[in-house]
Amino acid sequence: MFDIAVFGSLFLTLFVIMDPPGITPIFLALTSGRPAKVQRRMAWQAAAVAFGVITVFGICGQQILDYLHITTPALMIAGGLLLLLIALDLLTGKSEEPTQTKDVNVALVPLGMPLLAGPGAIVSVILAVQHADGVAAQVSVWVAIAAMHVVLWLVMRYSLLIIRVIKDGGVVLVTRLAGMMLSALAVQQIINGITQVIDSH
């Protein structure tokens, strides 16, 4: 009832795309200055939102994209542009908003989506579900998705210990670094989307 090869393949693919170690500085930058309780809540909220989005697209993603006439490259370019806007905020230090809106924005957007549940992860899951033949393969795909989100939650949850060590000055440095990494990631995603559009014509 379990296909270890299917599980391993999807888990590694999602690990590379969702990049738990890489999300750490971005999570720290976006949640700095909040009470520890709020940060812990945001860690599981972000993982839960990502899991919810991935699950919806895993079950009926292709139908959603076909119905809206959205191509995969379009999804990638849109996600890249959204990430680029967030990255510019982090780089320029303009990410300060009222706590209430920050609460909602950060856990749901950009952390839950499109950072964790981005176009790359969504497309990988859609393809994995389509190619999973039989019950064992399907179970393996969904266990891999669930396991990946548990890893993401644990990484974000325990990355908060880093904030206590690096203090405020370190947080500013991490914020700028996260902005730079995120902007490069966003531009790469846009390039990949444009390349796919060119290749398909």
pLDDT of residue 40: 93
Q: Residue 175 and residue 171: Cα distance in Å, rounded?
A: 6
| DSSP-assigned letters across all residues of 8-60 | HHHHHHHHHHH-HHHHHHHHHHHHTTS-HHHHHHHHHHHHHHHHHHHHHHHHH
What's the pLDDT band for 139 if we cut at 50, 70, 90? very high
Give the residue with greater pLDDT, 174 vs 134: 134
Rounded to two decimals, the pTM is: 0.81
- Express as a percent the part of the chain with pLDDT over 90: 49
DSSP state of 161: H
Task: Please check the confidence at residue 96 and state whether its pLDDT lies above 60.
Answer: no
| Residue 76 belongs to domain spanning | 4-200
pLDDT of residue 104: 55
The 10s digit of each residue's pLDDT in 59-68 is 999 899 999 9
pLDDT of residue 174: 81
The structural domain count of the chain equals 1
The 10s digit of each residue's pLDDT in 160-187 is 887 778 777 787 888 888 888 889 988 9
Q: Residue 163 and residue 74: Cα distance in Å, rounded?
A: 36
